[in-house]
Structure 1
Amino acid sequence: MNCFVMKRNDYKISNSLSDHNGHPAVTVITAVYNAENYIAECILSVINQSYHNFEYIIIDGGSTDNTVNIIKQYEKHLAYWISEPDKGVYDAWNKALMKSKGEWITFVGADDQLHLDALHLYMEHINAHPLKDKLEFISSFIELVNEDLSPIRTVGAAWKWQDFKREMTTWHLGAFHSKNLFIKYGNFDTSYKISGDYEFLLRAKDQLNTSFIEQPTAKMRSCGMSNVMLFKASEETYKAKIKNKVLSNVKGQALILIDKFRLLVRKSFGWKRF
């Protein structure tokens, strides 16, 4: 088994977690596996941020294409990276969290891109917020794009418990998570493969302290979700609600069956709205 590890001592962030101007440190995390066509663009969108007090961590799942070689080309800009087999994206994120030093943590997919002022917008928003010391989660609008980065639509909404407990209304790409959120609620549950970020945020229920930036901060490629992934995402979403007592086990299991039937009908009609 091949395993590549890179550690550096000259992180962009200081041991005090703030620079000499008092700018809080941010950790940017990317989990990647066989993304040679996109990873360089993703890395460049991070390392060229206008906000400078951040560290960048990349966790590769043991890529078999040219991804690792591309990462090595940028390793002087990375606080930490590793390439080894893992149990999926949430396992990779947990590995990165163990190495992170930032007061705020954000996740960027290997085929996604941050706007170059994204970190600055988030920190500016946080610093101006009247309850900035209590904030735990901040999200924004996200631009969904095709593979060639041509626009599809803009998505995202402010977090509201009554909406969020029904479905994932926020987008994890570029969203800021307070380090205290992980101290309080633990890391991601690696038994989830698609809906682990939703399950994590459900743990706080209506006690999550949030804010929203009414500007796009990132571009997310929308390559479509396979039939298998749609069924898996639906099942995991209801299991997350059962785990966090948003739904009873009986009602949750019933809704899993109902939603499977709904998805089967959609599939039979070519995934038209049902």
Structure 2
Amino acid sequence: MLENNKYKISVITAVYNAELCIQNLIESLRVQKDKDFEWVVVDGASTDRTLEILKSISDLNIRIISEPDFGIYDALNKGIKLSSAEYYLVAGADDVFYENAIYDYSASIDDSVDIVTGIVHKNGHSVCVRKGGAWLFDQCAYITCHSLGTLVKKNLHFEYGFYSRKFPIAADQFFIMRCCENGAKIIQLDTIVGQFGTSGVSSEDTIGTCTEKFRVQLLLGKNKWIQFILLVLKIFKRLLALK
């Protein structure tokens, strides 16, 4: 059990060569109504001006690691272990928090809450929790988006493990679903907390995302034939979108 947390919430960001987009995230953190948070940035040894930009920040509670990593989830695991708060939020370098985000998340926390999920804007739409089973909507049956949209109690990782290297794209799905299907208490906010960026691997490699989510569903014991049919339908839909 973690004790003596310095901050209520840690925002954790994995970055690599993000100089073109990270300024918007920085500005969104600067204007938060609630300042009781730290920002832990894990840089994968960027070769552009990302580190220079981060090191120039003096008005945020920022902690920076810069070293090679094995991908986003390896970087997030480092950030989680370094963070000092009881709860954390993941934010991509191209994400933007709305000024109410930290305040709304913080206000929802009590001793019994494990996960809090907020509404997120993505591609002009509001992303909410999907109504239906996890066999169909995977982690989206429990949360809106892993990045920006999910506040996680850090102690869950000591019970269900850290993000797995077996899933370079869908490790968040594997972790969140394990937590939720084993009784983690989830609260849904009715407020919009931010704008989700779409330049990440999961947004660009849609076929890879489908196949990896399929593997996670099988590992979690979902009906393999139903999952196979869903996989074929999802891939066909994405192939049509590429035409």
Q: In the alignment, is the contact (CA less than 8 A) between 1:235 and 1:256 conserved in 2?
A: no
Q: Distance in 2 between matches of 1:120 and 1:176?
A: 12
Number of the residue aligned with 2:126: 154
Q: Distance in 2 between matches of 1:52 and 1:42?
A: 15
Matched, 1:189 2:159: no
Matched, 1:163 2:139: no
Distance 1:265 1:125, change over 3 A: closer
Q: Output the amino acid matched with 1:244.
A: L
What's the CA shift for 1:213? Answer: 0.6
Number of the residue aligned with 1:84: 67
Distance 1:69 1:119, change over 3 A: same
SS in 1 for 2:75: helix
Residue in structure 2 matching 1:221, options 194, 197, 200? 197
Which stretches in structure 2 are left out of the alignment for 5+ residues? none
Number of the residue aligned with 2:40: 57
**Bigger CA radius of gyration:** 1
- 1:120-269 matches, cutoff 5 A: 120-126=103-109, 132-145=110-123, 152-157=124-129, 163-166=133-136, 167-169=138-140, 170-174=144-148, 175-204=150-179, 205-223=181-199, 229-247=205-223, 251=224, 255-256=227-228, 259-260=231-232, 263-264=235-236, 266-267=238-239, 269=240
Question: Could you report, residue by residue, the CA deviation over 1:173-198 in whole angstroms, capped at 9, with x for unpaired residues?
Answer: 22110122112212100221211111
TM-score (norm 1): 0.76
Matched, 1:27 2:5: no
Question: Could you report, residue by residue, the CA deviation over 1:219-252 in whole angstroms, capped at 9, with x for unpaired residues?
Answer: 11335978971121111112112222234xxx26
TM-score (norm 2): 0.85
Which stretches in structure 1 are left out of the alignment for 5+ residues? 1-14, 19-23, 127-131, 146-151
Matched, 1:105 2:88: yes
Q: In the alignment, is the contact (CA less than 8 A) between 2:33 and 2:102 conserved in 1?
A: yes
- 1:62-77 matches, cutoff 5 A: 62-74=45-57, 77=60
Q: Output the amino acid matched with 1:176.
A: L
Q: Distance in 1 between matches of 2:203 and 2:117?
A: 28
SS in 2 for 1:168: helix
Matched, 1:16 2:1: no
Q: Of the two structures, which has the highest relative contact order with CA contacts closer than 8 Å and spacing of 6 or more? A: 2
Distance 1:259 1:164, change over 3 A: closer
Distance 1:238 1:270, change over 3 A: closer
Moved over 3 A (4+): 222-228, 254-258, 269-272
Question: After alignment, is 88-97 or 166-175 more displaced?
Answer: 166-175
Count of aligned positions? 235
SS in 2 for 1:237: helix
Distance 1:224 1:195, change over 3 A: closer
Q: In the alignment, is the contact (CA less than 8 A) between 1:27 and 1:101 conserved in 2?
A: yes
Task: Calculate percent identity across the aligned residue pairs.
Answer: 27
